A = this chain, B = another copy of it.
Amino acid sequence: MAARESQIVLGLDPDPGALWPDAEPTPRRGSPAERAARAVLGHCRTLIDAAGEACVAVKLQLACFERLGAAGRAALEDVAAHAKARDLLVIADGKRGDIPVSASAYAQALIGGATTPFGRVEGLGADLVTVNPLLGREAIDPFLTAARASGAGVLVLVRSSNPGAADVEDLLLEGGDALWERVAAIVDELGRAGVGAQGISDVGAVMGATAPAHLERARELMPRTPFLLPGVGAQGGRVEELAAAFAPGRAGGLVSASRSIAAAHETLGGGPAAAARAEAERLREAAWALSEQVGAAS
């Protein structure tokens, strides 16, 4: 973050029907899935090359790759490798949550890899993975164990960016806390053993940028937790409202934008690459300046 003066995460959730027109030419041969996956890979590489310099990470929405089957999984790995080659962290956004034996298998898929009688099968090599906490601490633990063995981190879904999140996440518990606040307490507790030299823990929280009213409370409950803040742009979140994220320091918030960068040309005009670069740079400047103000005030 310091080297790039950026907290911006480039969200990659490619829709085969809305790829950049100037992406690499798509091969005419192959199955629909193979051709779509190649086109998605070309789109993501071009987008990373256009906007990546203003960012610190990419966030791969696993659903968008999974709908292209085996070819989609291969494209996912190639996109992750391309991002790493551009010195970007890779966030695998799958929000997995299952009983411990299955959570361990997901952690193998996304972080470390699996040792089998047929040889070592490497995982995606993600630097951060998003995890769903509904099944409790023991469903998070396998990800945390794998992450700590690989120098990676875990981002637990605490309050999502969709309007309907209120249905369950905002339910009030006995005693008056919202459910998401109780999850926040679990995240804080799990992260205490992983606070690094910067004073930031290795267990993060997904806190939708569309609910800034929750951010200050979240920061009280999770003082050293890095926040992944999705929902900036197309979903309505604004960088200017995210100050509480940066209270523990500049690394306290990762600001994720997807469609607002990839589709910036629709509002800014010009070519997709130039518009994406401009929008990512605008977000970078806004977030960096905000984090500077928060640092100066504290």
In the complex with contacts A66-B105, A109-B66, A123-B67, A136-B164 CB distance below 8 A:
yes
Residues of B close to A179: CB separation below 8 A: 168, 171, 179
Residues of B close to A32: CB separation below 8 A: 116, 118-121
What string of 1s and 0s marks CB contacts (under 8 Å) between A61-88 and chain B?
1011011111111100100000000000
Interchain CB contact under 8 A, A67 and B121: yes
What string of 1s and 0s marks CB contacts (under 8 Å) between A105-141 and chain B?
1101100011111111101000000001111111100
Minimum CB–CB distance for A30 against chain B, Å = 9
Residues of B close to A182: CB separation below 8 A: 168, 171
Residues of B close to A31: CB separation below 8 A: 119
Residues of B close to A145: CB separation below 8 A: none
Interchain CB contact under 8 A, B70 and A77: yes
Interchain CB contact under 8 A, B169 and A121: no
Interchain CB contact under 8 A, A134 and B105: no
In the assembled complex, the Cα of A97 lies from the Cα of B166 at a distance in Å of: 14
In the assembled complex, the Cα of A181 lies from the Cα of B134 at a distance in Å of: 14
In the complex with contacts A63-B106, A160-B99, A16-B134 CB distance below 8 A:
no
**A265 interfacial by beta-carbon distance below 8 Å:** no
Report the stretch among A33-41, A45-53, A280-288 that lies at the interface: A33-41
Residues of B close to A69: CB separation below 8 A: 73-74, 77, 109, 121
**A183 interfacial by beta-carbon distance below 8 Å:** yes
Minimum CB–CB distance for A154 against chain B, Å = 16
Interchain CB contact under 8 A, B73 and A105: no
A residues near B, CB below 8 A? 13, 16-17, 26, 31-33, 35-36, 39, 61, 63-64, 66-74, 77, 95-103, 105-106, 108-109, 113-121, 123, 132-139, 157, 160-169, 171-174, 176, 179, 182-183, 186, 235
Other than A138-B162, A167-B186, give 19 A-B pairs with Cβ distance below 8 A. A32-B118, A36-B118, A61-B102, A63-B105, A64-B102, A66-B73, A69-B73, A69-B74, A69-B121, A70-B73, A97-B132, A99-B235, A100-B162, A132-B132, A134-B160, A134-B169, A136-B165, A136-B167, A138-B164
What are some 25 contacts across the A-B interface (CB < 8 A)? A16-B117, A32-B116, A35-B119, A36-B116, A36-B118, A61-B98, A63-B103, A63-B105, A66-B105, A69-B74, A69-B77, A95-B96, A95-B97, A97-B97, A134-B160, A136-B164, A136-B167, A136-B168, A137-B167, A167-B186, A168-B179, A173-B173, A174-B174, A174-B176, A179-B179
